[in-house]
Structure 1
Amino acid sequence: MKIPIIHHIQSRTVLLQVRIQITIGLNHESPTGKQPVFASYLDTPNLPPKVKILCEIVANTPSLEVDRVLDDTGIRICTEDVEDVLKLSYTYPAVAVKFFRWSGYQLNDRHSPYAWNLIIDMLGKHCLFDAMWNAIKSMEKEGMLSLATFASVFGSYVMADKVKDALLAFEVMEQYGCSSDIVALNSLFSAICRDGKTVDAKDFLKIVKAKVKPDADTYAILLEGWEKEQDAVNARRTFDEMVGEIGWDPNNFPAYDSFLNALLKGSGGLREAMRFFNILKDRGCYPGIRFFKAALNECVANCDIEAAKLLWDSMSVHDDCKPDIELYNSMICLYSNVQDVDQATRMFDEMVFNHGVFPDSQTYNILLQLLIENMKLKEAQQMFTEMVKNEFVPTHANCCLAVRVFVGGGDPYSAIKVWKCMIENYDSDLEDTGNILVGGLRDLNRVPEAVKYADDMLDRRIKLTTATLARLRQGLAKAGKGAVYDELLKKWELQEVRCS
């Protein structure tokens, strides 16, 4: 459908605190953003009986019969009923339109703007563009057209790979009594960039910027598009243009966030992102929390303590970037990777006191492993006790490591505690650790306890090795308890027969 381009658009800049969110239609996209996945009344619980009946009629009645079937129900409806039915009838546009007309008779043709917009969105999502424009003309006569209507049109055209038609729709907004201002332009760009076509938005900006002056949101949308497409080169160009057009603005952190994230994913990686981060910081501008999280993850991967400290210190001056558990875990993990026990435990201690952030399973496991590997057995025992008290379980690997190191370090009580936790929470790969515990207890001259846990292992069908049995035999013989060994051996032989 040919749409005439309107020139001489009145320019008006609107400073947005929050990017426009259009709820119509956009929640019907599939994960790929191409094939729509529409909401269905079948998947919607607790629907009012009246709405459910109407949805069933729309879904199961041939188009030619729907008026008669609806009349036969005798149902009286209100505006909200119409909206609810339309929201759940996107799969059946032809019948839904007939329902819309039928309901108009009861409402004296006084449909709500939302109901009209649902019809526009539904037709657009099914690429019924001629019918969509006819409905838009009807809305215009009713004086109900709004930016939400055109936002839906933009999204439908872009989803159908008709970006040029979306651009033309923007150009004709004035003809329909809607302002093609910066708010509308940002809505258009949002639809285009969300679909991975940021280059089309960038090219159109070159044409339209003489009529509509871009604002901070415009560039934030473009930069978010480049980030999504992992195009660091174009992100850098758009960033330079943004600074030239609107300067530096501490409130523009969504744009800075997307820009730095795009650089982080580019060939320059963390080094390039940190270079521009420092440039921003020198001007009192900071990105959002997403960049801090992504950058700290890169610092962990690259063991870059210096960059991580700079990022961490910078968050303290950014009100919107208070550390959370994910950020704390990244820092603790980084210090653990370089075996800096003091800094890792300091971060752990300040979590709750400084920011009210409570450790999770990952926090405890990172620190438990670090303390054990550095032979801080007393601290490791305390960490284990605290995490279990808070209902967190050490990983299987940490349990294995802890039993081995506690036994080797002469702390059988802690080793036994970890073993009990292990058999309570894991039901496989227990043989090696169990044999280490039993053998270690025997070597520490705790033969009765070694026998106790060996016997328990056999009851649980955890295999005792012949080497462990031999060590137990020696210990029991030395203690004059050969009969105890004979009982244990019989149990072991019976298990071997069952397993063979």
Structure 2
Amino acid sequence: MALRGLRRLRGCCDAGRTLLPLPLRRSSSSTRPNEDSSATALTAEEEAAFERIKRSLFKARKGSVEDLVGSLGAECSGIRLTSGVADRLLRRFGDDWKSALGFFQWAQSRGDGYAHTPYACNRVVDLLGKMRQIDRMWDLLSELHCRGLVTVDTVAKSIRRLAAARRWKDAIVLFDQLEDMGLERNTETMNLLLDALCKEKKVELAREVFLVLSPHIAPDAYTFNIFVHGWCSVRRIDEAMWTIEEMENKGFTPTVITYTAVLEAYCKQRKFRRVYELLDSMGSKGCHPNVITYTMIMTSLAKCERFEEALGVSDRMRSSGCEPDTLFYNSLIYLLGQAGHLFEASQVFRVEMPRNSVPRNLATYNTMISILCQYGRDDDALDVLKEMEAQSCKPDLQTYQPLLRLFLRRRGCGDAVDHLLSQLVKKSGLGLDLDTYTLLIHGLCRVGETDWAYRLYDEMVGSEIVPRRKTCELLLSETQRQNMEVYVERIRNDIISFGLCP
């Protein structure tokens, strides 16, 4: 299949340098599953090998990829390398592409019978692409092709990373060379390319590619869904609706997922009249909205502070026979609270969810606690906190923040704040983050607890958390007002050292 049109198209895309062609070697791709063997427990010997390799890489971490390969060759040549060790190391590297590539190259050059798993190959390809090391990624892809290790998953990750790096031309080049790598240019791989382009908002380019490929490669329903989502992402809803018509003309039935993408686009533009019209149209076609659709619409209305209208959507969902889930109830509880219906929110939380056997999750409890605190109902909020602990639902920082905020607004509630902090750290095993420190320091300054606020500031800086400039300025003002000269000098020095000067 020549596809000359695609080659002409890739020649006029605005992109980076032209990639060198892959060797024309028609080896079959690996058929081994793309499994990560790092989840398998390591033996004592493997654990020792893991730690030894990690130490070697750490010592040479400031060097080049070649330095890392050399360090491993000098210090780890006697190690018996297994796929379990290799996959775990690659998983632990995070965004450290140099260590990952150095280890990958060293392991591959050992010649002791070790072979990289598909997971290892795809992990390094994906990491290089993520960190914008596109030329290195392409070199590695060429090498993997020569070894017959390129799979559809490898290509999918490569195309996505090329598109994310704005290398549209290179993504098309890679697709055009699939058959040279022993892979097919078929509906699945075409969809990978179109989806990558649409996710980066290059929908018009994706459409041009599709027009070239569609005479040779048959689209499926997913192809059209890709374009519906793509047009919606660039706020061109008319084109999305036209795509739905095209989809139907090709014999494919739009699903609730298709329509929900359009509904969400209308919601983002606050065109709620169009939302209701499309809901009616869906019903007439026998395509009924699901709980995700209704929750999205309800949440969008709530963001626009159209609370009563959002409650109407909730009633519409219930009357349609659509079963609510936890996410729906979380949104409904928040909505009722914002609309001033605290009793109804509590009824949903305490009666309706248990009656319908819908489980509560962390977000359910956090939402209820936040609403109760918003209405000053601290005793009820603390009861919900006790209840979630009794249900083995572990609180997080978002659980405690509304309670802390409520007590910090009141003078004389220092003991309550201290008790909550003790419970947060000792009972829930949490550590304070930047937002929580900021909340506490600002709140304590407002109620005149400057010394306590400074102690928390000192703890935050000691934990290597850089404070916000506004926090430093507030604490500096309060310590100056109370003639705390030692504190004043420390805060001034911190403002300079943290680069927070205006």
TM-score by length of 1: 0.57
- Give the letter aligned to residue 267 of structure 2: L
Among candidates 259, 262, 285, match of residue 259 of structure 1:
262
Q: State the identity %.
A: 18
1:248 maps onto 2:242 in alignment:
no
- Note the alpha carbon deviations across 1:412-453, whole angstroms, 9 max, x for none: xxxxxxx999776479xxxxxxxxxxxxxxxxxxxxxxxxxx
Please tell me whether the aligned partners of residues 121 and 152 of structure 1 are also in contact (alpha carbons under 8 angstroms).
yes
Q: Which residue of 2 aligns with 1:154?
A: 159
Cα distance, 1:283–1:103 mapped onto 2, change above 3 Å:
same
- Give the letter aligned to residue 179 of structure 1: E
Among candidates 49, 52, 64, match of residue 50 of structure 1:
52
- Note the alpha carbon deviations across 1:427-483, whole angstroms, 9 max, x for none: 9xxxxxxxxxxxxxxxxxxxxxxxxxxxxxxxx999xxxxxxxxxxxxxxxxxxxxx
- Note the alpha carbon deviations across 1:71-104, whole angstroms, 9 max, x for none: 3213422234444445528655599358515543
Q: Which residue of 1 aligns with 2:354?
A: 352
Cα distance, 1:461–1:116 mapped onto 2, change above 3 Å:
closer
Q: Which residue of 1 aligns with 2:3?
A: none
1:283 CA displacement: 2.6
- Note the alpha carbon deviations across 1:131-174, whole angstroms, 9 max, x for none: 65554444334332211121122123212312132123212212
Aligned residues: 361
Q: Which residue of 2 aligns with 1:279?
A: 281
- Give the letter aligned to residue 266 of structure 2: L
1:189 CA displacement: 2.5
1:389 maps onto 2:391 in alignment:
no
Return 5+ residue gaps in structure 1 as ranges: 6-21, 25-45, 373-382, 401-418, 428-459, 463-497
SS in 2 for 1:240: helix
Please tell me whether the aligned partners of residues 253 and 288 of structure 1 are also in contact (alpha carbons under 8 angstroms).
yes
Cα distance, 1:275–1:304 mapped onto 2, change above 3 Å:
farther
Among candidates 221, 227, 230, match of residue 222 of structure 1:
227
Q: Which residue of 2 aligns with 1:327?
A: 331
Please tell me whether the aligned partners of residues 372 and 380 of structure 2 are also in contact (alpha carbons under 8 angstroms).
no
1:342 CA displacement: 8.2
Please tell me whether the aligned partners of residues 324 and 357 of structure 1 are also in contact (alpha carbons under 8 angstroms).
no
Please tell me whether the aligned partners of residues 235 and 262 of structure 1 are also in contact (alpha carbons under 8 angstroms).
no
Q: Which residue of 2 aligns with 1:116?
A: 121
Structure 1 Cα separation of the partners of residues 195 and 238 of structure 2:
20
Please tell me whether the aligned partners of residues 104 and 111 of structure 1 are also in contact (alpha carbons under 8 angstroms).
no
SS in 2 for 1:59: coil
- Note the alpha carbon deviations across 1:54-81, whole angstroms, 9 max, x for none: 4326634445555543332134222344
Please tell me whether the aligned partners of residues 86 and 120 of structure 2 are also in contact (alpha carbons under 8 angstroms).
yes
Cα distance, 1:420–1:347 mapped onto 2, change above 3 Å:
farther
Q: Which residue of 2 aligns with 1:79?
A: 83
Please tell me whether the aligned partners of residues 231 and 240 of structure 2 are also in contact (alpha carbons under 8 angstroms).
yes
Structure 2 Cα separation of the partners of residues 245 and 284 of structure 1:
19
- Give the letter aligned to residue 384 of structure 2: N
Structure 2 Cα separation of the partners of residues 345 and 127 of structure 1:
49
Please tell me whether the aligned partners of residues 274 and 307 of structure 1 are also in contact (alpha carbons under 8 angstroms).
no
RMSD of aligned C-alpha atoms?
Answer: 4.7
Structure 2 Cα separation of the partners of residues 65 and 364 of structure 1:
54
SS in 2 for 1:105: coil
Larger radius of gyration: 1
- Give the letter aligned to residue 264 of structure 2: N
For 1:61-460, list aligned pairs within 5 A: 61-62=63-64, 66=68, 68-73=70-75, 74-76=77-79, 77-86=81-90, 88=93, 91=96, 96=101, 100=105, 103-108=108-113, 110-121=115-126, 124=129, 132-133=137-138, 135-249=140-254, 252-266=255-269, 268=271, 270-287=272-289, 289-300=291-302, 301=304, 303=306, 305=308, 308-314=311-317, 317-318=321-322, 324-333=328-337, 336-337=339-340, 347=348, 349-358=351-360, 360=365, 362-363=367-368, 386-391=380-385, 425=416
Deviates more, 1:234-243 or 1:141-150: 234-243
